Amino acid sequence: MSSARERLTRLLSLVPYLDAHPGADLEETAAYFAIDSDTLIDDLQLLFVTGRPGHMPDDLIDASWEGGKIFVSNAEEVSVPVRLSAEEAGVLVLALDLIDTLPGLDTEAVRTAAAKLRRAAGENLHTPVEVSPIPADEELMAFLRQAIDGQSAVTIDYYVGSRDELTTRTIAPSRLVPGADWYVDAWCYAAQAPRRFALSRIRSWASAAHPPLKVGESGTEPREVTMTLSAAGAWLADELELKEREYSDNGEPSVRIRFLVHSVDWLSRFLLCHADVITDIDDSEAVEAAALRLG
Q: State the SS3 of 81-120.
A: CCCCCHHHHHHHHHHHHHHCCCCCCCHHHHHHHHHHHHHH
Distance separating alpha carbons of residues 203 and 158, to the nearest angstrom: 6
Q: What is the pTM (predicted TM-score) of this model?
A: 0.49
How does pLDDT run across 216-244, given as a tens digit for each residue? 444 456 788 999 998 888 888 887 877 78
Whether the per-residue pLDDT at 172 is higher than 60: the answer is yes
Distance separating alpha carbons of residues 179 and 65, to the nearest angstrom: 49
What's the whole-number mean pLDDT along residues 14-27? 85
What's the Cα-to-Cα distance from 240 to each of 225, 261, 271, rounded to whole Å?
12, 10, 14
Question: Which of residues 251 and 173 earns the better pLDDT score?
Answer: 173
Q: Which domains does the chain have, with CATH numbers?
A: 4-78 (1.10.10), 86-125 (no CATH), 138-208 (2.30.30.100), 223-294 (3.30.70)
Q: State the SS3 of 217-266.
A: CCCCCCEEEEEEEEHHHHHHHHHCCEEEEEEEEECEEEEEEEEEECCHHH
Distance separating alpha carbons of residues 145 and 142, to the nearest angstrom: 5
Residues 278 and 269: beta-carbon distance below 8 Å:
no
pLDDT of residue 218: 47
pLDDT of residue 206: 93
How does pLDDT run across 34-49, given as a tens digit for each residue? 888 888 888 888 876 6
Terminal Cα-to-Cα distance of the chain (whole angstroms) = 52
pLDDT of residue 133: 58
The overall average pLDDT reported for the chain is: 79
- Nearest alpha-carbon partner for 51 in 74, 18, 70, 85: 74
- Nearest alpha-carbon partner for 47 in 77, 79, 19, 11: 11
